[in-house]
Structures are given as C-alpha cells and as structure tokens.
Amino acid sequence: MTQRLKLSVLRHGPLLTTITIFLLAYIIGAQLYPAMQRPQAFFNLFINNGFLLILGIGMTFVILTGGIDLSVGGVLALTTAASAALLNLGVSPLVVMPLMLVMGTTIGLGLGCLIHFFKVQPFIVTLMGLFLARGLAYIISLTSVTITDPLYKYLALTPIYLPFFAKAYIYIPTLVGPALLVVAVYLAYFTRFGRIVYAIGNNEQSAALMGFPVGRTKILVYALSGFCSALAGIVFSISLLAGYGQFATGVELDVIAAVVMGGTLLTGGVGNVIGTLFGILIEATIISILQYNGTLSSWWTRICVGVLTLIFIGIQSGFALRKKKS
C-alpha cells in the first residue's frame, strides 16, 4: 500500500505542485489586492485567457508525443485576418467559422506530414509554419481589420450571468475552452488515440514494435493542434472584433511555458491537459496581480513565468529520477 501511494505521488506530483502554486499565487494576490477576492476577478482569468487554454490543449498533445508546435500563434493570427476579410466581403459567419477550422486543420496536417515522411525536426517545420501563416496574414491585410458582423458582435458582447455568484458573468466564447478541455480529457484517457500518444512519448520505437500506428497518430496530433489554433483564432477574433497578422505575437512561447508548468515533460510521455489548465491560470494570475498593482512593468510577467518554468523543469526532473529509482 505504501509503495502504491509512493508511486501515485510520483505520478501526480507535478500536477499537484502546479495546483498548489496556483492556489498560493491567487490567495496571495487576493490578500494584497482585495478586488481579486470578487468572483468576477476569478472568472476574468477564463474570459481573458480562453484562447490560451484552447492553444494549450493542442500543444499538450503535441508535446506528449515528444514534439513541439511553434506555428500556433501564426495560425491564430491568420485565422483572425482571414475571418475578418471574409466577413467584410459578406460571407456568412456560419461558413467562415467551419472554413477557418478546416484551414487550421489542413495546415497542421501538412506540418505533421512533413515531420513524419521527411523526418524533419518539428522545431524547424513548425517554425516554417509560423512564418508562412504570419506572412499569409499580412498578405490579407497590413493593418487591423474591424469585424462588424452581427453574430460576432452578439457572441462578443452578450454576457452569461452565473448562478450563485452575485453579478458574476462570462461570455459565450469563454465556454469553448472548458468544453474542449472535457473532450481532450476523454481523448487522452478513454480512447486508443490517447494511449498511443502516451506510448509514442515514452518510447516511439517500442510503440512502433507493438504495432501502434505511430506515423498516423503523430500526423493527427499536429492536425489537432492546427484545429485548436484555428479555433483559438475564432475565439480571439470574436473577443476583439478584429483580425490582424500581428495578433498573439510570441504566444507560442507562453503556451509552451504553460504546458511545462502544468507538468508535461518536454521529452514527452508524461503530462495531462488538466495541468495545462492550471499552468495557464498561473500565468493569468501573475498578469492580474501586475495589473492590480499598476506600478510594475509588464515584463515582470515574463520574468515570473520564466523563473516558474525553470522551477517546474527542475521539479519534473526530480520526480522523474525518483520514479526511475523506485
């Protein structure tokens, strides 16, 4: 029993650490700035970072296979620019949204095929995808394009008031991230696809020898990441009611940091999407504290996230070594 408990702690240690750090950060922030004690302040974390959660879910699956996807920010920006341009041409949003999802999935599928069939490092291929997507976004427009579509405005400006929380609300796009998280948990833990993803991350050669479709799964993982990037782009464009190639510059690094802080190993095979959620909440809490402070530079967010990422890498390494010894 003691051995089983020890293994359980080693297995879930990084996730528990992430949750603990989030709770401590939020409690400290709430003590320093009483405004953070209001329920709305907590729900604002999801309102302001819903797109980041969507990106993080796709990135988690990629990193679990031992890969990386640097194209997510570019695909997000391309989605916003293309959406705005099509909507302003009079194309129905009911056509634009599925079209953007197909575009993002196709880009991810293409990157996955290049990685698998040509044996090119994911870092190089997805960096190329980032440049390609950003470039296409600037071809569409060099400036920000305003979205005036009635459906987008309705989705962006209609609050959903929450029961049991006085005057607390979220917006319709805020629900997309949590809904996708539920689907991701099911995919990761209750499907063959999820088991193969973890098997590839643990040992790709062993997974192939066991007869798993390694190549197909890796391609599907990048297609999933592309889908999530496009979906995040739709949510982002609805929130800001605009499209621009400069949107979300450097967001891919924020997403990777959140995934790592969530307990997912960069070498693959260890981690989960629940941890990614709390990694994003940690980043969001740091930003909120700085905003309530009002005197500190926004670069402190980068410093704090960088330090926390290094700490989590050390924690993961410690748990991994102890797991091997046991």
Structure-model confidence comparison of residues 266 and 54, the more confident one? 54
Q: How far is CA 278 from the centre of its chain?
A: 11
Is the confidence at residue 297, as pLDDT, over 60? yes
Provide the residue type at 259 as one letter: V
Is 9 a domain residue?
no
Is 255 a domain residue?
no
Is 109 a domain residue?
yes
Closest to 78 measured CA to CA, from 135, 29, 119: 135
Domain encompassing residue 226: 44-248
Is 129:77 a contact under the CB 8 Å cutoff?
no
Is the confidence at residue 273, as pLDDT, over 60? yes
Average of per-residue pLDDT across 293-303: 78
Is 85 a domain residue?
yes
Closest to 309 measured CA to CA, from 80, 36, 21, 12: 21
Q: What is the pLDDT of residues 171-215, one digit of tens each?
A: 999 999 999 999 999 999 999 999 999 999 999 999 999 999 999
Residue with tokens 């805020």: 174
What is the rounded distance in angstroms from the CA atom of residue 243 to the CA atom of residue 172? 19
Is 301 a domain residue?
no
Highest mean pLDDT among 13-27, 76-90, 152-166, 266-280 belongs to 76-90
Is the confidence at residue 36, as pLDDT, over 80? yes
**Per DSSP, what are the bridge partners of residue 170?**
160
Total count of domains within the chain: 1
Confidence (pLDDT) at 156: 96
Is 268 a domain residue?
no
Is 275:14 a contact under the CB 8 Å cutoff?
yes
Tell me the pLDDT band of 80, cut-offs 50, 70 and 90: very high
Confidence (pLDDT) at 299: 77
Is 299 a domain residue?
no
Confidence (pLDDT) at 316: 72
Tell me the pLDDT band of 326, cut-offs 50, 70 and 90: low
Structure tokens at 70: 């640097």
Tell me the pLDDT band of 1, cut-offs 50, 70 and 90: very low
Least confident stretch, 12-21, 77-86, 167-176, 231-240: 12-21
Confidence (pLDDT) at 3: 52
Tell me the pLDDT band of 13, cut-offs 50, 70 and 90: confident
